[in-house]
Chain A
Amino acid sequence: MAKRIIVVGGGAAGMGAAGAAQGTDPEAKVTVLTSFEDAAYSPCGIPYVHGKEIPDFDRLFMATKQHYIDQGLDFRYETTVSAIDTRAKTVTLESGDVLTYDSLVLATGFNYAPTGVPGESGPGLYYVKNIREAMEWDKTLDSVRSAVVIEGGPLGAEMVTALSERGIETHLVDSAAWAMSMATDPDIIKPVEDEWREAGVHLHYSTKLEAFLRNPDGTLRGVATSDGEIVADLAVIATHKVANTALAKAAGIKLGMSGGVIVDAGMQTSAPSVFACGDVAEIPHGVSNVPIQGLSGSHAYAQGKVAGTRAAGGVRDYRAVYVPWGMMAGQSMLGGVSFSETLATALGIDYVAGTATGISRARYYPGVKPVTVKLLADPKTQRLIGAQLIGGEGIKERTDFLAMCVRKGLTLDDLATMENVYSPGIGALNEPIALAAQKTLANLAAATSKTGA
């Protein structure tokens, strides 16, 4: 009898799991359940459609619904799971139907953390997630005069950029002292903030959201903050991701300290034959060993591949994460991996840091852009523990490379003496990463001679 594999969730993790399960056991009956009308699109692209860099939402879909039918997947849209029984190995749908599984993959994703302030329920609050809702909001944006973005994390930063490019008066409200504060230091994010201010964005840092203000007819009038009222007819809620563990928790599956489902390298949960992947699961950080959740789409997809392979009886492992990230914000590209000075300070991790600015191509070549690299290393071993980058191009590739350097324990000396490609159109004589490593070594030598250590 063919193995019955049920995947709950049709995002990056769910699609990765379904594909891998089918690839591992082509005889298996793979059923994907999603509460949404669509699956397999890139929600990460939504801000760029709003900002008009991408002309339409259709481009965000990876394949048509027919494609998955042709592939042999039993895809059920607008199908909500109401309960899981891990002993009976059944999934109960909201319709009352009960499905039996041999292996179950939970890829239920995330919810935005509630703001916890009055007025949160009502119109005018936009949670960027569902592409159909995004299409409707996109029509609304043409008539929005003023918008407020709540919290300046990655999505918040992208939405600030998109809304201001759309010609909307945009406010960012964040209780942190600068945008992207969980991943960047203020010296790295400053060029983006300057670009935002130049575009007319109002930045309200160290400011607490106190309430959503409503007109008598219930429509949004603005927000109350610790710094006064802001008039707005749209609020984008870009609070941090919270693992959507309602089903897992009700089924008695163990959760970890980050709030995500506890998994091992095979994405196995505490329940037999139940796997979890993507934003619902928590993964240990490779440097600190602290479990974290709410990573990127590429993490979710890779975890889904592992969960799907294991669910189908194959062998595949995931690894602890070092969390390379990157994005467009303002007119800049921004990226990083693992620790910033701020995060290292928060966790009490000793570090030495150094920053250098180089260029992306030969200085005389058209289109040359600045590239700033900031490195953090353990002062005793000189092993890299984090990096941040900002510039005009070549940020993603450098970030991926530096993530592998952190993972493999490369040292400042390794990077200071690295070889690099030189060709006028694609790379300069001096590699910015090598310059930053040399600067960090110089800072370490200066600190050592000062302390006499």
Chain B
Amino acid sequence: MASLFQWVRQTSERHLMLDAQDRIGRKLGAGRPARPRGREIFWRRVYVPVFHRLPPGVRNAMIARMPGSHRQRWPAEPPPAGPAV
């Protein structure tokens, strides 16, 4: 099961990044990634838009449920305390 989540994470990350390069490349007048071909078309034209349409709370909840170190014990960052004296 863990390897399925790894595959989903890896594939999702790759196509989200390529889509982001496309947008930022266009915005800043820089190079853009190659157009998707074959199976990439599903990820770039279907998965990525669906991912971005999900409310952030839903996306975060899905990530939170996936297996990983983020589900373990981690100390919270203490709030800024101001000057010492």
When C-beta atoms are compared, the residue in chain B nearest to A262 turns out to be B69
Which of these binds chain B: A56-64, A181-189, A214-222, A431-439?
A: A181-189
Say yes or no: B20 contacts A208, CB within 8 Å.
Answer: no
Name B residues whose Cβ lies closer than 8 Å to a Cβ of A: 2-3, 5-6, 8-10, 13, 16-25, 27-28, 30-34, 51-52, 56, 59-60, 63-64, 66-75, 77, 80
A257 touches B (CB below 8 Å): yes
Please indicate the chain B residues that have their CB under 8 angstroms from the CB of A185 in the complex.
24, 28
A-B CB proximity, top 7 nearest: A186-B30, A256-B68, A264-B72, A346-B20, A291-B68, A284-B70, A345-B20
CB-CB under 8 A for A342 and B68, given A257-B5, A264-B73, A289-B60: no
**Complex CA distance for A407 and B79, rounded to whole angstroms:** 10
Q: Does A144 contact B (CB under 8 A)?
A: no
**Bound form: Cα–Cα A206–B22 in Å:** 11
A445 in the interface (beta carbon within 8 A): no
A289 and B63 contacting across the interface, CB-CB below 8 Å: yes
Complexed CA–CA distance, A205 and B30 (Å): 11
User: Quick check: A255 and B2 within 8 Å, CB to CB?
Assistant: yes
- Do the beta carbons of A257 and B67 come within 8 Å of each other? yes
Which segment, of A71-79, A100-108, A172-180, A418-426, faces chain B?
A: A172-180
CB nearest to B63 among chain A residues: A290
In the complex, A178 Cα to B2 Cα: how many Å? Answer: 31
CA distance A343 to B18 in the complex (A): 10
Task: Digitize A407-433: 1 where CB-to-B-CB distance is under 8 Å, 0 elsewhere.
Answer: 111000000000000000000000000
Q: How far is the CA of A266 from the CA of B73 in the complex (A)?
A: 8
- In Å, the complex CA distance between A347 and B59 comes to 9
With a cutoff of 8 Å between Cβ atoms, the chain A residues found around residue B75 in the complex are 265, 317, 319
B70 and A289 form a contact (CB under 8 A):
yes
A346 to B5, CA, bound (A): 18
Q: How far is the CA of A181 from the CA of B13 in the complex (A)?
A: 13
Q: Which residues of B contact A286 (CB under 8 A)?
A: 77
Asked whether, in the complex, the Cβ of A409 is within 8 Å of the Cβ of B2, the reply is: no
A-B contact pairs, 21 of them (CB 8 A): A175-B33, A175-B34, A176-B17, A177-B32, A178-B25, A208-B34, A226-B34, A254-B2, A256-B5, A262-B67, A262-B71, A264-B73, A264-B74, A284-B69, A286-B77, A289-B60, A289-B63, A291-B68, A346-B13, A346-B16, A348-B52
CA distance A190 to B19 in the complex (A): 20
Contact B74 A284, beta carbon cutoff 8 Å? yes
Contact A256 B30 (CB under 8 A): no
B68, A262: Cβ atoms under 8 Å? yes
Contact A186 B24 (CB under 8 A): yes
Q: Closest residue to A322 on the B side, CB-wise?
A: B77
- Of A186, A257, A263, which contacts B6 at CB under 8 A? A257
Q: In the assembled complex, which residues on chain A have CB atoms less than 8 Å from the CB atom of B64?
A: 289
Q: Tell me if A320 counts as interface (CB < 8 A to partner B).
A: yes
A342 touches B20 (CB 8 A): yes
User: What chain A residues lie within 8 Å of B56 (beta carbons)?
Assistant: 348-349
Give the distance to chain A from B85, nearest Cβ to Cβ, in Å.
17
A290–B25 Cα gap in the complex (Å)?
25
Closest to A255 in B: B2
B16 close to A347 (CB less than 8 A): yes
Contact B69 A260 (CB under 8 A): yes
CB nearest neighbor in B for A350: B56
Do residues B18 and A282 form an inter-chain contact, with CB atoms below 8 A? no
A195 to B75, CA, bound (A): 43
Query: How distant is the Cα of A370 from the Cα of B27 in the complex, in angstroms?
Result: 24
Q: How far is the CB of B48 from chain A (nearest CB, A)?
A: 9
User: B19 contacts which chain A residues (CB < 8 A)?
Assistant: 345-346
In the complex the two chains form, is B77's CB within 8 Å of A177's CB?
no
Contact residues in B for A181 (Cβ distance below 8 Å): 17, 21
* Inter-chain contact A206/B32, CB cutoff 8 Å: yes
B77/A407 in contact, CB under 8 A: yes
Let me know if A408 and B77 touch, CB within 8 A: yes
Q: State the CA gap A317–B76 with chains docked (Å).
A: 11
Collect the chain B residues with CB atoms within 8 Å of residue A262's CB. 67-69, 71-72
Establish whether residues B17 and A263, one from each chain, have CB atoms under 8 Å apart when the complex forms.
Answer: no
A341 contacts B by Cβ under 8 Å: yes
Distance A234 CA – B13 CA, assembled complex (angstroms): 30
**A181 closest partner in B (C-beta):** B21
User: Per-residue 0/1 for A5-44: is the Cβ within 8 Å of any B Cβ (1 yes, 0 no)?
Assistant: 0000000000000000000000000000000000000000
Considering the complex, give the chain B residue whose CB is closest to the CB of A265. B74
Structural contact, A206 and B33, CB atoms closer than 8 A: yes
Are the C-beta atoms of A291 and B2 separated by less than 8 Å?
no
Evaluate whether A186 and B2 lie within 8 angstroms (CB atoms) in the complex, with A257-B68, A284-B69, A289-B60 already known: no
Nearest A residue to B8 via CB reads: A257
Contacts A205-B31, A289-B60 given; does A284 touch B68 at CB 8 Å:
yes
| Shortest Cβ gap from A367 to chain B (Å) | 30
Given pairs A206-B32, A283-B69, 14 additional interface contacts (CB within 8 A): A205-B31, A206-B33, A258-B6, A263-B72, A264-B69, A264-B74, A265-B72, A289-B63, A290-B63, A342-B20, A346-B16, A346-B20, A347-B16, A408-B80
